[in-house]
Structure 1
Amino acid sequence: MTMRLRIGAAGLAMAVTLLAVSTAGSASEAQTIREALAKVLPDAKPTSVQPTPIKGLFQVEIGPQVMYMTGDGRYLIDGAIVDLETRENLAEKAQNEARQRAVEALGEDEMIVFDAPNAKHQITVFTDIDCGYCRKLHQQIDGYQAEGISVRYLFYPRTGVDTPSYDKAVAVWCADDQRAAMTEAKNGNPVDSKACNNPVQRHMELGELMGIRGTPAIILENGQLVPGFVEPKRLVQVLEQ
């Protein structure tokens, strides 16, 4: 079983084992699920536990992550749940919605935004200053804006905290003109380093929870995750599907 929770393989195996033998008290099913999770994943605080169309199965959200559990707290399911009548993947839809809520909860005050003059769409992009395809994406920022797509940047330096890529992200955020600094950095030019309160590490933590593995990682308006570079005209087609 593959889970998106940021726990190791040994911890996951223990969690699944303990969930299988957990016992419920007299609490409601939702509370039973919370109690079962608290025993095996004490740091994972569900933000939502809701019934699904399937009797006895509950949708559990932990920030941008979605999983499913039985009402007795015994079984955890991580994977596709497809309505064969509508052909809709309920799990994918729920995951997209949870991802989008997490992005919007962060707020544009913690993003660097390149607004389109006549915006019809917006995307949120996890970016790394030193990533080649991230630079290619930014080199076409005018093309996205011309297609009516506003671009909102979050930082995801793949090398981690306290590395040159991380320091460049902080320097861009702390610059007097963040957009100009982003463009300079993406062009490989140095940006004067300043220290300031910045959200770079929060961006990275959110990306980790979302399972981001590479950059650029594009979050569409509906919360769908599109990995990699997509040129402007193709992206607007995806957005308008």
Structure 2
Amino acid sequence: MKKLIALFAAALLSSSVLAGESEIRQSLQVKFPNIGKIEHVVKTPYSGLYEVIIGDQLLYTDAKGEYLFDGHVIELKNRRDITEERRRVLFAIDFDKLPLDIAIKRVKGDGSRRMAYFTDPNCGYCRKLEKELSKINNVTLYMFIGPIFSPASEDIVRNVKCAKDPLKAWSELMLNGNAPANASCDTKNDKVMALAKKMNVNGTPNLIFGDGTQVPGYLPAENLEKYLDASRKK
């Protein structure tokens, strides 16, 4: 009898939690109608916060779904970045399953570390990223170039990919501002855009390190080095 009561209580608790998470999801959709698709809402073990996944974003909300928090939760006792740890788990990607054949490849130094990234020629932070990457050695880079940030990038992307030396054309454009000459070929842009959609990449740059860690946004060289070193150790 005690076992039945315990099981019944557990079922009630589970259903109440699920109901709460469902209500929070509904509340967020009503209050923030343009927020996009909410992948999941899960209660965290700290401070009554709920984890919210929207595309490639990890956000937090309260128990009533009245507020959204965009930031990192830090455990002060051990100085752990809880949010970063969760991101690594939630958004991990099997690097070896990426369609690297549709990317432009660059090997620097011994190429021992790996990073792939989505980028767009009309994205200001993508240009900043290229400057930071120019400071880094011993890495193999795979660039998924496409009109992700802006549809207006279509022609520029085509001219880069169809250039005699696409890698040189890309560097000249992003580092020196020299646009490539008009050219035409099979750019595989449709495949790049399909991959971006599949991976919920809605902005650029979006970085993927060799261990599968995905980081949306620009990083300075110092931080890139840390991620690259960490990914090589795994």
Q: TM-score, normalised by structure 1?
A: 0.58
- C-alpha change, 1:32 and 1:240, in structure 2 (3 Å) is same
Q: Does 1:170 align with 2:189?
A: no
Q: Which amino acid aligns with 1:32?
A: E
Q: Superposition RMSD on alpha carbons, in Å?
A: 4.4
Quick one: percent identity of the two aligned structures?
21
* Distance of 1:120 and 1:237 partners within structure 2: 14
- C-alpha change, 1:89 and 1:159, in structure 2 (3 Å) is closer
Could you say which residue in structure 2 is the equivalent of 1:59?
51
Q: Does 1:240 align with 2:229?
A: yes
Q: Which amino acid aligns with 1:39?
A: V
Question: Which of the numbers 30, 34, 43 marks the counterpart of 2:25?
Answer: 34
Could you say which residue in structure 2 is the equivalent of 1:182?
167
After TM superposition, give the deviation of residue 83 of structure 1 in Å: 1.0
After TM superposition, give the deviation of residue 37 of structure 1 in Å: 2.2
Q: Does 1:206 align with 2:201?
A: yes
After TM superposition, give the deviation of residue 55 of structure 1 in Å: 5.6
SS in structure 2 at match of 1:74:
coil
* Distance of 1:26 and 1:83 partners within structure 2: 24
Q: Unpaired runs of 5+ in structure 2?
A: 1-15, 173-177
Is the 8 Å Cα contact of residues 163 and 169 (structure 2) preserved in structure 1?
Answer: no
Number of matched pairs = 199
After TM superposition, give the deviation of residue 58 of structure 1 in Å: 1.7
Q: Unpaired runs of 5+ in structure 1?
A: 1-24
Could you say which residue in structure 2 is the equivalent of 1:12?
none
- C-alpha change, 1:135 and 1:223, in structure 2 (3 Å) is closer
Q: Which amino acid aligns with 1:190?
A: A
* Distance of 1:96 and 1:85 partners within structure 2: 21
Q: Does 1:151 align with 2:141?
A: yes
SS in structure 1 at match of 2:150:
coil
Q: How does 1:1-241 map to 2 (within 5 A)?
A: 28-42=19-33, 44-54=36-46, 56-95=48-87, 97-98=89-90, 100-101=92-93, 108=100, 111-114=103-106, 119-129=111-121, 144=137, 147=138, 149-155=139-145, 160-162=150-152, 165-173=153-161, 175=162, 180-187=165-172, 188=178, 189-190=180-181, 192-194=183-185, 198-199=189-190, 203=196, 206-208=201-203, 212=204, 219-221=208-210, 222-224=213-215, 227=218, 230=221, 236=225, 239-240=228-229
SS in structure 2 at match of 1:206:
coil
CA deviations 1:46-81 (Å, max 9, x no partner) are: 223223221642211112111112344334322232
After TM superposition, give the deviation of residue 194 of structure 1 in Å: 3.9
* Distance of 1:90 and 1:224 partners within structure 2: 15
* Distance of 1:90 and 1:223 partners within structure 2: 16
Is the 8 Å Cα contact of residues 120 and 150 (structure 2) preserved in structure 1?
Answer: no
After TM superposition, give the deviation of residue 91 of structure 1 in Å: 2.4
Q: Larger Rg: 1 or 2?
A: 2
- C-alpha change, 1:96 and 1:59, in structure 2 (3 Å) is same
Q: Which amino acid aligns with 2:201?
A: L
- C-alpha change, 1:79 and 1:181, in structure 2 (3 Å) is closer
After TM superposition, give the deviation of residue 108 of structure 1 in Å: 3.7
SS in structure 2 at match of 1:80:
coil
After TM superposition, give the deviation of residue 87 of structure 1 in Å: 1.0
SS in structure 2 at match of 1:47:
strand
Is the 8 Å Cα contact of residues 61 and 98 (structure 1) preserved in structure 2?
Answer: no
Q: TM-score, normalised by structure 2?
A: 0.59
- C-alpha change, 1:151 and 1:181, in structure 2 (3 Å) is same
